[in-house]
């Protein structure tokens, strides 16, 4: 039996717990998710390093999964645009059962290997693409089909699973095992297995974006200010990163469509926004290098 399916020996009488103990059982078990991601950190670092040159060459992040794992892939893909201004067309997720499966479980869709292969192939993967294949069990046929199609196209494949020695991690070029063990509710991988996958995806994509110069210090200077909250955040980030007054930061942000990176370089280098953009482009989008080159 898969470890994720094995009944937990820690909580055999879960249904008899009073509410405080019941809540604590679920909360405490989440620490195992953190430990699993910590153990996988070296493989995550390898995945970032292997993915970086492909993404720099114009590749995409392609996510493939089913059920909770697939939905977590969708979540990671859609959050990259507002957080890092990552183009939506360069972070694409496929989900067993199609888009509607994001909201309503489509039972049986995950068992279709051919559909996983066809859905991934429909994205026309290239050798510069990076495919993130997600399956808590590690043996989901839909995901294995996606891996096969990705490898046939020469794309880099990174497999995430919550069971050791899983087909998903074995068949991908880089296998990342998040060994979370049995769940508090047997087999419910939306619990700590899902938490570990979310952490691992956040870690991978965020580290990749840092390496792509989307962050200055620890500030998210390439966000897309698509609402009032994010406009305020862009202003606060510009003030903090540049040391300029709020009034000066507002004026420059208004000239560059609230692009924090451009505003910071313009303010610190004392140049106009067009020159700031040119300096950033020459520095491969790195604020640090743009400031040193001035």
Catalytic residue among 5, 89, 110, 281: 110
Catalytic residue among 5, 79, 173, 275: 79
Is 110 an annotated catalytic residue?
Answer: yes
The structure tokens listed for 47 are 């995945």
Is 46 an annotated catalytic residue?
Answer: no
Which are the catalytic amino acids?
Answer: 79, 110
């Amino acid at each position: 039996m898969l470890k994720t399916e094995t009944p937990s020996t820690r909580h055999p009488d879960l249904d008899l717990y009073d509410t405080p103990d019941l809540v604590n059982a679920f909360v405490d078990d989440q620490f195992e998710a953190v430990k699993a991601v910590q153990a996988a950190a070296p493989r995550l670092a390898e995945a970032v390093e292997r993915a970086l040159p492909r993404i720099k060459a114009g590749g995409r992040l392609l996510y493939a999964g089913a059920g909770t794992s697939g939905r977590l892939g969708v979540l990671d893909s859609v959050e990259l645009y507002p957080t890092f201004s990552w183009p939506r067309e360069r972070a694409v997720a496929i989900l067993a059962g199609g888009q509607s499966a994001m909201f309503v479980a489509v039972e049986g869709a995950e068992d279709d290997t051919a559909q996983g292969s066809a859905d991934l192939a429909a994205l026309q993967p290239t050798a510069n693409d990076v495919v993130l294949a997600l399956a808590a069990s590690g043996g989901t046929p839909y995901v294995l089909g996606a891996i096969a199609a990705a490898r046939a196209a020469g794309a880099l494949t990174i497999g995430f699973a919550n069971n050791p020695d899983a087909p998903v991690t074995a068949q991908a070029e880089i296998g990342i095992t998040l060994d979370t063990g049995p769940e508090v509710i047997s087999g419910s991988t939306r619990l700590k297995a899902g938490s570990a996958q979310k952490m691992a995806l956040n870690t991978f994509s965020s580290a990749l974006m840092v390496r792509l110069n989307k962050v200055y210090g620890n500030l998210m200077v390439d966000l897309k200010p698509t609402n009032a909250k994010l406009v305020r955040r862009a202003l606060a980030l510009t003030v903090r990163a540049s040391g300029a007054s709020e009034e000066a930061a507002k004026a420059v942000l208004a000239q560059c469509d609230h692009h924090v990176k451009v505003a910071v370089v313009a303010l610190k280098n004392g140049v106009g926004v067009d020159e700031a953009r040119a300096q950033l482009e020459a520095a491969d989008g790195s604020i640090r290098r743009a400031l040193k080159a001035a």
